[in-house]
Structure 1
Amino acid sequence: MDALRISDSLVVAMKRVKDETSEAQIASFFSDDAHNSDPRNHCVRIINIFPVPELPEKIIVMAWMRKVMDPRFRTVGEGIQFLSEMVEGLQYMHQNNVAHRDCVINNMAMEADAMYTRPYHPVRPKKRYDWSGPALHHSRTRCPPRYYLIDFGYSQMYDPSHPRPPEHAIKSGGFTPPEGSKGIPCDLLLRMSLFWVASFTLHSSIPNPHMHDPGMSGFEFLRPVVEDMVVDDPAKRPTMDEVASRFSQIIQKVPWWKLRARAAKKDEFPLTKPFRAFYHVFWTASMMLLSKPAIPSPKSIH
């Protein structure tokens, strides 16, 4: 449910969660002063928590955010910003002994207030909040958003002083990982927070029958690390520290013109491609004249 914070008219989301889940605990853990001041922390910030009278439930309050793919990425660099923040966020969770366990595109969100000239409506995000017209927005390159991991209902926090017990994978994003369907327990913290559905949403070089999104062109250079993250044997997958290191090394080698290239949908109507490409050249020139980096860099909120 959406609501307005009285003090500053901030649009917020209110979510009811059961006490038996770990969501409120883990969300609060990453929202305290120590974690909130760390720029590597990309877990959604909890503004407040209210108990539900006479029920074993709580209402958590957080800023309202948009879906990651709305609007779609305009350049490869914009997509890289998103993936970089999600890799960094997962690595931070693992370093704090927390496994997300349900890390799919639907459990990632975008704080996009900087992109919009006027607030958008939470129920009809293409409309202004006051319903007076369309919600116009700048590109991510011009006004970078921030990305967050959300929904910790299946997340697991481990005691670092005790060995982590192997656990079974859960169905996530419409599919069950190979070890889940085979009933093989594994170390969730090291092997299971894969974010690979989000990667497939960006590029579909590896077939995935569970995804209906055709993917976007231009992200094929990420294929080696993504392939390693989804091998059938969980023991052979890289840890998030290894993924973060490899991801950083790959990005450093990508030329600027590739990062500024258009992130076109793979099923784009062929007749529109030349016109979109022509417009993209002039738009890119304007961003370069404004000294906007190829990979957007949002202003720090800390």
Structure 2
Amino acid sequence: MPVNEPNARRDNLRGGEIWWRDHQAWFDECGYTLRSSRLMPGWVPSWVGKDVWPSDCEDYKLLPTDSIQDAIRKDDQKKVMLKLVDIVEYPNEVDITTFLSSKDLANAPENHCVPILEVLKPQDDQRHVILVMPLLRACLNPPFETVGEVVEFLRQIFEGIRFMHVHRVAHRDCHEPNILMNADDMYPGGFHAADPSMTPDWSGKAKHFSRTERPPKYYLIDFGISVRFSPDDSTPRTRVDAWGGDFDRPPEIEQVNAEYDPFPTDVYYMGNIIKHNFTEGSEPIEVKMKLGFDFLKALAADMTHADPLQRPTMDEVVTRYAEIRKALPWWKLRQRVVRCDEFFLARWYRDTKHIGRSLGYAIRRIPPLPTSDIIL
């Protein structure tokens, strides 16, 4: 992406924001209002000349990467996320993403691929395309409260990867940051795109319901290095030409340009989600093991087997996981998710609160295994 560095420094903008600012009027013509005041012509930081911490100001907050910006769709005020796709660097992303969001597939309950609301093509930039998606939030934020919430999360993402595989698409980068959730019901007042802990108008902390009370639907995103095969291709192979974001890579992709079957690789990454976030923890990403998830260890071990041929397929994973899920009693699903390093007094306090909250759920007949039928 071309960046005018002197202007970027002069305007107090991060380099990649210049593209968005220069296309702000075009987005407005397309029916989208960019939310960030940073991208408006003549923007002056709100903290300049004031006795305030910049980090306390709404216009100081940045989205995690330059390739995305949030906006409002003017005709219905829907909050959306815009993704700038470099079609030279990622030539398959638009085709695969729109295929998975196509009319024939979009309403399938097992489809957990991010829906594409519109594709915009800037006339002055032949290298980039804009994908318009719903505004979603990180799948682990806020933290899971119960085992049942985790069980439903895993069911949905396993189902989503199987759906992709059925349609001959391998994700190749399905680690936890590439899983988001529709939290509209959880956050009826909304949340701020650049800081999801805040309200949209930056007036305070965003209030929310639990996943048990208002079940979210989880979505897979970022198909930049995904590959799609023909339905009659019985021996799918691709080359190691890119690595995903997971630091724990399967052995088959360690050697550049090596040929491999990417479908077992997706299974490995799914197994890593269990291991890194629940059964084992992960020092590189500073995630602690959670207590009470031993029932997932055998499945995770098989999914992360060093030999791709020894891993179960996603069909087998979904089948085995359904059996595991059915065997869990209600009291197990109601259990609180506990970090292994919780201080004993904090644990006692949280357990006490959790018992009261669980009794409330039982009285209100809210099931311990939350399920979502949201379709965006």
Q: Is the TM-score greater than 0.5?
A: yes
- Contact 1:171/1:177, CA 8 A, preserved across alignment: no
Among 253, 256, 265, the residue aligned to 1:180: 253
Residues 111 and 160 in structure 2, CA contact (< 8 A), matched pair in contact too: yes
AA paired with 1:45?
Answer: P
Instruction: Supply the distance in 2 between the matched residues of 1:144 and 1:162 (Cα, whole angstroms).
Output: 37
> How far did 1:209 drift?
4.9
Instruction: Name the counterpart of 1:161.
Output: 232
> In the alignment, is the contact (CA less than 8 A) between 1:191 and 1:235 conserved in 2?
no
Identity of aligned residues (%): 35
Instruction: Supply the distance in 2 between the matched residues of 1:182 and 1:225 (Cα, whole angstroms).
Output: 27
Contact 1:99/1:155 (<8 A) preserved: yes
CA distance in 1, matches of 2:371, 2:254: 39
After superposition, where does 1:141-152 map in structure 2 within 5 Å? Answer: 141-152=212-223
One-letter amino acid of the structure 1 residue matched with residue 115 of structure 2: R
Which of 115, 121, 125 does residue 196 from structure 2 map onto? 125
Question: Out of 342, 356, 361, which is 1:268 matched to?
Answer: 342
Give the CA deviation at 1:300. 3.9
In the alignment, the residues of structure 1 paired with residue 227 and residue 315 of structure 2 have an alpha-carbon distance, to the nearest angstrom, of 18
Specify every segment of 5 or more residues in structure 1 that has no aligned partner in the other structure, as ranges: none
Report SS of the residue matched to 1:275.
helix
* Cα deviation, residue 196, structure 1: 2.6
Where do residues 1-302 of structure 1 align in structure 2 (5 Å cutoff)? 1-20=69-88, 21=90, 22-53=92-123, 54-169=125-240, 170-172=242-244, 173-181=246-254, 185-193=259-267, 194-205=269-280, 208-301=282-375
Report the alpha carbon displacement of residue 182 of structure 1 after superposing the two structures with TM: 5.0
Following superposition, the deviation at residue 51 of structure 1 comes to 1.1
User: What is the CA distance between 1:297 and its match in structure 2?
Assistant: 1.1
| Residue in structure 1 matched with residue 40 of structure 2 by the alignment | none
Larger-gyration structure (1/2): 2
Greater RCO (Cα-Cα under 8 Å, separation 6 or more)? 1
State the Cα deviation string for residues 156-208 of structure 1 (Å, max 9, x = none).
00012334342345533123211222565332124534323321243133x65
Between the aligned partners of 1:74 and 1:190, the Cα distance in structure 2 is: 31
TM-score (norm 1): 0.94
- The alignment partner of 1:86 has SS state of helix
Structure 1's 185 and 267: CA in aligned 2 closer, same or farther, altered over 3 A? farther
Cα deviations by residue, 1:259-296 (Å, 9 ceiling, x for unpaired): 11001122222220001101111100101111111111
Which is further off, 235-244 or 174-183? Answer: 174-183
Q: Which moved more, 1:68-77 or 1:215-224?
A: 215-224
Matched letter for residue 204 of structure 1: T
Name the SS for the 2:263 alignment partner: helix
Q: Give how far 1:11 is off.
A: 1.2
| 4-13 vs 169-178, greater mean Cα deviation | 169-178
| AA aligned opposite 2:150 | G
Q: Is the 8 A contact 2:272 2:300 kept in 1?
A: no
What is the CA deviation profile of residues 64-92 of structure 1, one whole-angstrom value per residue up to 9, with x for unaligned ones?
11111110000000011110000000000
SS at match of 2:259: coil
Please say if residues 41 and 92 of structure 1, whose CA atoms lie closer than 8 Å, have aligned partners that are also in contact: yes
- 2:264 and 2:178 mapped to 1: Cα distance? 19
Once the two structures are superposed, what CA deviation does each residue of 1:128-154 show, in whole Å capped at 9, x if it has no partner?
101122100000000111100000001
**Mapped contact 2:97–2:116 kept (Cα < 8 A):** yes
CA contact (8 A) 2:302 2:312 kept: yes
Tell me how far apart the structure 2 counterparts of residues 127 and 165 of structure 1 sit (CA, whole Å).
Answer: 45
2-structure distance, mates of 1:80, 1:177: 24
Give the secondary-structure state (helix, strand or coil) at the position aligned to 1:114.
coil
Q: How many residues align?
A: 301
CA distance in 2, matches of 1:35, 1:251: 26
Distance between the aligned counterparts of 1:130 and 1:85, measured in 2? Answer: 32
Letter in 2 for 1:197: N
Measure the CA separation in 2 of the matches of 1:216 and 1:278.
18
1:43 corresponds to which letter in structure 2? C
Report the aligned-residue RMSD: 1.7
Q: Distance in 2 between matches of 1:74 and 1:168?
A: 40
SS where residue 371 of structure 2 aligns?
A: coil
